[in-house]
Amino acid sequence: MKEQSGEAPHRRKQMGKSWIRLYNSKWVILITVWTFFLAMAMSFVSDTILRSVNLILAFIILVTIVFIGIFFDLIGIAVASARETPFHSMAANKIAGAKHAVTLVRNAGPVANFCNDVIGDICGIVSGAAGAILILKLSDVSQINISLLAILVSGAVAAVTVGGKAIAKEIALRKSKEIVFSVGKVLYFLHSKFKINILPNKKRSIKHERKRDE
């Protein structure tokens, strides 16, 4: 009887590991396909627009792309570092966005992966391409050597990106609850107005919850 009772937890553990591997495999395939098409769409749109606008608008678009990457990096870090517990009392009081905030925290891995890796990396790649187009536009109106322009623009884009993400990280760690709740409100709006559910409402085990809250 002892052997049988000892086998049950072991089987549950093995089943849990199998489910995690299956879930991770599905997520990896899904996010890879999404990244491929999203990157192509963003590159096509930015390239088409940048080539048809003037220098000032091209600069504004480049800055916008960089700050989109920083903004999503902020969300990803906030969700990954937030605790689930504070949102339970808010959800019990039927505060709009609280349940979706819980869902965000429970899906912290995929959310952080999408915000930090997918959107962040795509914005980094697209901003590089946008910077190249901006350099060509600058070379048409400036007497500065194109190689020097490339160095200056690349350095400026990298500095703003890294510096912005460093500031965003500090804000995300200090204000994770407020940021997650704000994103939860947006998800609540999408669900209530358009019936759109972006994230699965999965349950979290008590053991996992205690580890996260420590």
Q: Average pLDDT of the chain?
A: 86
Residue-wise pLDDT tens digits, 108-152 = 999 999 999 999 989 999 999 899 999 999 998 888 899 999 999
Buried b (16+ CB within 10 A) or exposed e, 141-174: eeeeeeeebbeebeeebeebbeebbeebbeebee
Residue 97 and residue 102: Cα distance in Å, rounded? 9
- Amino acid occupying residue 67: F
Q: Is the dihedral of CA 130, 132, 137, 138 positive or negative?
A: positive
Query: Is 60 exceeded by the pLDDT of residue 206?
Result: no
| Tens-digit pLDDT profile for residues 21-54 | 555 678 788 888 989 999 999 889 888 888 899 9
Lookup: tokens for 182:
């704000």
Q: Token pair of 166, please?
A: 């460093």
| pTM beyond 0.85 | no
